[in-house]
A and B are shown apart, each in its own frame.
Chain A
Amino acid sequence: MFDDRSPIYRQIAEQIKQAILTGDLQEEEQVMSTNQYAAFYRINPATAAKAFQELVDEGLLYKRRGIGMFVSPGARERLRSQRRERFFADVVEPMVAEARAIGIPLREVIQWLEQREGEEER
């Protein structure tokens, strides 16, 4: 999902997003402080703060003065819809490209997906 060598603050932002998506971080729950993140990842606190700022800008976290950062209400839903929008571009397109490169016809992919769907419905 995220490039290993992308800036570390993006990795942290992604991790927090993932935690919100999976429900590990509930809405209105307090997020660990930048200093705790900095100490854990052995990174400069300014870098950790950048990750938090990115999430605040996206409306996923909000700041309570003197207390810390909390998950915004509706953050999970917002993330889910974002991911849904990007799903075809980010996940399906690379799959199609890979299928083409190694010679799997799209028909076969569709058949596989239909079979999967059948299994899940049972």
Chain B
Amino acid sequence: MIERIDIDHLTLRYGDVTALDELSLSMVGGKIYGLLGRNGSGKTSLLSVLASFRKPTSGDVRINGQPVFENQAITSQIAFIRESGDTVEDTEKVESAMRYAAYLRPNWDAEYAARLLERFEVSTKARIGSLSRGKRSALGIVLGLAARAPLTIFDETYLGMDAPSRYAFYDELLNDFMEHPRTFIISTHLIEEVSRLFENVVIIDRGRLVVQDDVETLLSRGNAVTGPADVVDQFVNGYGFTVIGTRQLGRTKSAMVYGQLDPEKRAEARAAGLDLEPLALQDLFVHLTEPRGDQS
């Protein structure tokens, strides 16, 4: 079981490139986490270190208090599926991939794997190399779910899959999570599609943590305040909200703010004739990770 994951001042460099920059964060087990970040923000690097695919340059990754790298007791509890899953050579058949997974995975559920392959219409006789991109992703999903690993990580495992297959994936993920509670980390760009599956969200940018919170808390903190420009400015500045984006149309201004809006403030805003609208996770993500010139 995964009780907790602790990442402490984690740095990963590839030559001159710093992929992870003193990143620290903690997670508790038994939840579905969303990991969000722009391309090149360090998501895959972070997950690779977490799954012992890479050794960190410096810093510490611990699961249940134990270091992860080359620690069989921990790594055997982790399934990290990158895009399409890493498995046997392209010239091998799907059934060969299943055989090795069954051999190497302590909790492998062969029956479930067979059911999933059928659901995603992946033939066990097909050669890996002959599978379309979508089917390869589906194979990755099967390898990830049927491993029943206490920590299961999907890194953009949906490439080439059409919407019905992706929703089938979300349904399977959710049902299996409820039947066999464990920890999931899902990294994705399709935020709107999956945000409701997450309990907690981690947003990283340029190898650093931007924000981590429960989805509902995060959503309640992101609001668009819309109304006459001067009134909006007065309200936003008066309470010192963090403005993560603004838009203006004539005299109407919309300020996207990040911060707790308690009922009194809401009432006050409404009394001043301002419109309050919650931001979708996608919008929050976009504005929290927007490039902002050379401010940093």
A and B touch in the complex (CB under 8 A): yes
Chain A residues packing against B (C-beta within 8 Å): 3, 5-9, 35, 38-39, 41-47, 50
CA distance A36 to B199 in the complex (A): 17
User: Which of B170, B171, B175, B199 interacts with A47 by CB under 8 Å?
Assistant: B199
Interface 1/0 per residue, B191-216 and A, CB below 8 Å: 00000111100000000000000011
Q: Which residues of B contact A46 (CB under 8 A)?
A: 31, 199
Contact across chains for A38 and B174 when beta carbons are under 8 A apart: yes
Question: Does B255 belong to the interface (CB within 8 Å)?
Answer: no
Which of B206-253 touch A at CB < 8 Å? 215-216, 219-220
Interface 1/0 per residue, B163-206 and A, CB below 8 Å: 00001001100110110000000000000000011110000000
CA distance A103 to B229 in the complex (A): 26
Number of interchain pairs (Cβ within 8 Å): 44
Contact across chains for B178 and A39 when beta carbons are under 8 A apart: yes
Contact across chains for B178 and A45 when beta carbons are under 8 A apart: yes
Interface size on B, residues (CB 8 A): 20
CA distance A102 to B171 in the complex (A): 47
Given contacts A5-B278, A5-B280, contact A43 B219 (CB under 8 A): no
Q: Which residues of B contact A3 (CB under 8 A)?
A: 278
CA distance A47 to B32 in the complex (A): 11
> Across the two chains, which residue of chain B brings its CB closest to A41?
B196
The minimal Cβ–Cβ distance linking B119 to chain A, given in whole angstroms, is 15
Contact across chains for A6 and B215 when beta carbons are under 8 A apart: no
Given contacts A8-B196, A41-B196, contact A47 B216 (CB under 8 A): yes
CA distance A44 to B198 in the complex (A): 6
> Across the two chains, which residue of chain A brings its CB closest to B197?
A44
> Across the two chains, which residue of chain A brings its CB closest to B179?
A35
Contact across chains for B174 and A47 when beta carbons are under 8 A apart: no
Chain B residues packing against A (C-beta within 8 Å): 31-32, 167, 170-171, 174-175, 177-178, 196-199, 215-216, 219-220, 277-278, 280
> Across the two chains, which residue of chain A brings its CB closest to B196?
A43
Majority SS at the chain B contact face: helix
Closest 5 CB pairs of A and B: A43-B196, A46-B199, A44-B199, A35-B178, A5-B278
CA distance A43 to B219 in the complex (A): 15
22 contacts between A and B (CB under 8 A): A3-B278, A5-B278, A7-B219, A7-B220, A7-B278, A8-B196, A9-B216, A35-B178, A38-B178, A39-B174, A41-B196, A42-B170, A42-B196, A43-B196, A44-B196, A44-B197, A44-B198, A44-B215, A45-B177, A46-B31, A46-B199, A47-B216
Q: Which residues of B contact A42 (CB under 8 A)?
A: 167, 170-171, 174, 196-197
User: 17 extra interchain contacts, Cβ-Cβ under 8 A, other than A45-B174, A47-B199?
Assistant: A3-B278, A5-B280, A7-B216, A7-B219, A7-B278, A35-B178, A38-B174, A39-B174, A39-B178, A41-B196, A44-B32, A44-B197, A44-B198, A44-B199, A44-B215, A45-B178, A46-B31
Q: Which residues of B contact A8 (CB under 8 A)?
A: 196
CA distance A44 to B196 in the complex (A): 6
Q: Which residues of B contact A41 (CB under 8 A)?
A: 196
The minimal Cβ–Cβ distance linking A42 to chain B, given in whole angstroms, is 6
> Across the two chains, which residue of chain A brings its CB closest to B277?
A5
Q: Which residues of A contact B215 (CB under 8 A)?
A: 44, 47
User: Which of B31, B170, B196, B278 interacts with A6 by CB under 8 Å?
Assistant: B278
> Across the two chains, which residue of chain A brings its CB closest to B280?
A5
Contact across chains for B171 and A39 when beta carbons are under 8 A apart: yes
Q: Which residues of A contact B197 (CB under 8 A)?
A: 42-44
Most buried by B among A7, A38, A42: A42
> Across the two chains, which residue of chain B brings its CB closest to A46?
B199
Contact across chains for A47 and B278 when beta carbons are under 8 A apart: no
